[in-house]
Amino acid sequence: MNVERIVHNASQLLTLAGPPQRGERLGELNIIEDGALLIVGERIAAVGTSAELLAAYPAAERLDAGGRVVMPGLVDPHTHAVWAGDRAAEFEMRLQGKSYLEIMQAGGGIVSTVRQTRTASLEQLIAETRSRLRRMFAHGTTTAEVKSGYGLETETEIKMLQAILELTCEEPLDLAPTFLGAHAIPPEFKDDPQGYTDMVCEQMLPAVRAWWGQLPDPPIPDPPFVDVFCETGAFTLAQSRQILETARDLGFPLKIHADEFDNLGGAALAVELDAASADHLVVTSTPDIAALGTSNTVAVSLPCTPFGLAEGHYTPAKDLLAVGAILAIATDLNPGTAWCESMQFAIALACRYLRLTPAQAIVAATINAAAAIRREDQIGSLEPGKLADVLILDVSDYRHLGYRFGGNLVHTVIKRGRVYPLGG
């Protein structure tokens, strides 16, 4: 029989009940004071005040939150968590004056991680990624999207996707895989980006589809997302369209990296193709912002990336909210621009540089982030029927999330109903 457990005595139970929050409605936490939650097995069965739930379920096991904040697990909808090695030397070069794109054009950047990832065994990749996933979990992330994209040829790309699937089976964190074969032009195609684009469409996407189709028991029901880095020096708008349209026709859900450094029109393409999200959005044009405003394509801002690059430009979040966009935030965890495992840190940056209130940043990191990976019916809020992915924070006022930074406010993580005590 499934264990019944009540988490009670929450100073503030942030339910975030309701659908993803669009535009200036962002920030409705739907708080229950002295709140409680009934968990049965791996799902939430009821939400209410402590008095109500303790009276209604007297036989349930009790977990006293001790007057702390209780909220949904954080969802990180954009990471490149699987890679081998590091790029500490490039970080130093950037501080000495080289730009990210200059390093990339000189054969460093993404392709230097590609070299290291191609030679790593599956076991080594899993081991290196596992330590990052554990840090993410310890900082309150209970579901994360993870991309391939450091293989840039079929075998290594599938090795990366395999690592993601094995890790989602073994770790408490739930992972949503994304195929990002179009992350960069590989060295073999340096002078023929269109040749590589054609290969992605004609060989890699069908191979990934076939590989996914033959998995005996996929731990995730839906096929991976397909993503493209639509950027100067990576894929043009026309090449991004070619890849995403091919992927759509093969039945993959879509995502895009758009407007990180240059505005090529990727966000509007994402809207046109009904992509789940358009991510980065730093130099997005006014018409592209308007397109996102009326669409279900989630606008994912990655504030750790400009911070990691020590650049001053961030997503124009207020403009996106003014036109009604669904705004989410993510870490972009990767070895080049943002080695950050903490969504709490992304929230702190979003408060300062996107000018979000803590409540708005929390919604962007939970229910809206869940929508960016199309899991808003399963996670992202504390509502009956959803997975019991719950955080107990070591504070009594939710605004400490965002206000404080550089530390870890997580006291306990509950993942699919299992309790993982972490803090003091």
**Distances 190 to 195, 234, 370, 412 between C-alpha atoms, Å:** 10, 10, 36, 48
> What's the Rg (C-alpha) of the chain?
21
- Using Cβ positions, the residue closest to Fe ion within the complex turns out to be 332
336 binds, among ligand NIG, Fe ion, none (CB under 5 to 8 A by kind): ligand NIG
The residue among 178 and 360 lying less far from Fe ion, judged by its C-beta, is: 178
Buried b (16+ CB within 10 A) or exposed e, 299-312: bbbbbbbbbbbeee
d(CA 304, CA 79): 11
Nearest to 118 by CA among 151, 73, 157: 151
Query: Per CB under 6 A, which region of 61-69, 107-115, 155-163, 205-213 contacts ligand NIG?
Result: 107-115
Name the strand (E) or helix (H) holding 268: helix 266-272
Q: Smallest distance from the beta carbon of 177 to ligand NIG, in angstroms? A: 16
Which of the residues 319 through 338 are near Fe ion (CB under 5 A)? 332
User: Which sign does the torsion angle of CA 183, 188, 193, 194 carry?
Assistant: negative
Query: Per-residue string for binding with ligand NIG, 216-235, x by CB under 6 A?
Result: -------------x------
Q: In angstroms, what is the minimal distance from the CB of 89 to ligand NIG? A: 13
- Judged by CB under 6 A, the chain residues 242 through 301 that form the site for ligand NIG are 257, 260
Does position 113 interact with ligand NIG (CB under 6 A)? The reply is yes
Torsion, Cα of 314, 315, 319, 320 (10° steps): -170
Q: Which stretch binds ligand NIG (CB under 6 A): 32-40, 57-65, 288-296, 334-342?
A: 334-342
152 closest CA partner among 128, 194, 127, 188:
188
The distance of closest approach from Cβ of residue 150 to ligand NIG in the complex, given in angstroms and rounded to an integer, is 7
**Collapsed DSSP state (helix, strand, coil) of residue 303:** coil
Closest approach of Cβ 180 to ligand NIG, in Å?
A: 8
Does 335 contact ligand NIG by CB under 6 A? yes
**What x/- string results for residues 304 through 323 when contact with ligand NIG is judged by CB under 6 A?**
-x------------------
Among 20, 177, 223, 336, binds ligand NIG (CB under 6 A): 336
Q: Confirm or reject binding of residue 334 to ligand NIG (CB under 6 A).
A: yes
Q: What is the C-alpha to C-alpha distance for residues 422 and 175, in angstroms, rounded to an integer?
A: 21
Rounded Cα distance, 168 and 133, in Å: 10
- Residue least distant from ligand NIG (Cβ): 336
Q: Which residues bind ligand NIG (CB under 6 A)?
A: 80, 109-110, 113, 229, 257, 260, 305, 332, 334-337
